[in-house]
Amino acid sequence: MSDALEPARSAGVVGLGSMGMGVALSLLRAGFRVVGCDLDAAKCMSLVTHGGEAAGSPADVGRRVDRVMVLVATAEQAEEVLFGTEGVAGTLPKGGVVVLSTSVPPDMAAAVGCRLAERDLLMLDAPVGGGPVRAAEGRMVVMASGPEDAFARAADLVAAASGTLHRVGTGHGQGSAVKAVEQMLTGIHAAAVAEATAFGVRAGVDPQRLAEILAAGPFHIPSQRPLGIVGTDLGNVMDAARRLTVPTPLAASALQLFTMAAAVGLGREGDGALAQIFDRLAGNPQEG
């Protein structure tokens, strides 16, 4: 392998959205040479202004580094940036590492790990959490699984990007399964808080005061993601649960609430907007 690749301190980041850009900047602060790629040219240029390098495609990233973190938005995008005509898997050198940090179904993560292994590439199944702020500060939570040699090769990379690493196991798909559990609980908790909030308002509690009390206690941690995205995540988890023949009655009920929220135009709102659905059903006063 060429010394120009600087394998110990070089990294690629494919997907420079709110999480990916935070990861890229954290890696730069840690002293990595960072090569980034995104469909949005402005995001690539932003990385350059902070000292990173821009690549024209995922394949170009793979030609310039031997370790890559994938932080695109969807499973479909992950498939394309890994195995598409300009995919990074086609150009990474043998022994290279993919840290798959996009949230994908557990069975997809397992399949991707096998496909990369056929190309003599290592993979960590390493979805992340914590939101954009923690990503920018290098304090993400990482739920990772994969073979020991993949952990060893990506240890400094993951450490620079995260504040907490949970090593879930040695099999691809286990990290994604933990992320799916988190997504399921996020949806169910948000629905439960919305239902309980509507009850409190109906019982005469001031809505603002109730929101302050709930925010100060252990009752609910906001997801920091729009309702439409949380609902999509929950739907994907339920699809995976059906394939595993796991009953999910609570998640199914929560998903109906997210679907109603999307139907009335609340898909871009945060968790607090879920209570509006119950407010309408209960006849509570509406804001605005």
Query: Would you please indicate which residues are annotated as catalytic (active-site) residues?
Result: 179
Token pair in block for residue 248: 């999910």
Q: What is the DSSP string of 189-206?
A: HHHHHHHHHHHHHHTT--
Quote the CA–CA distance of 90 and 168 in Å, as a whole number. Answer: 28
Closest CA to 18 of 136, 128, 101: 136
Quote the CA–CA distance of 196 and 231 in Å, as a whole number. Answer: 19
- Strands (DSSP E) found in the chain: 10-14, 33-37, 53-54, 67-70, 97-100, 122-125, 128-129, 140-145, 162-169
Token pair in block for residue 150: 């993949």
11 in Cβ contact with 96 (< 8 Å): no
Instruction: Identify the residue whose tokens are 């109603």.
Output: 260
Q: What is the DSSP string of 69-126?
A: EE--SSHHHHHHHHHSTT-GGGTSPTT-EEEE-S---HHHHHHHHHHHHTTT-EEEE-
Q: Do the bridges between strand 128-129 and strand 97-100 make them parallel or antiparallel, or are there none, so unpaired?
A: unpaired
Quote the CA–CA distance of 69 and 34 in Å, as a whole number. Answer: 11
Quote the CA–CA distance of 11 and 52 in Å, as a whole number. Answer: 10
226 in Cβ contact with 267 (< 8 Å): yes
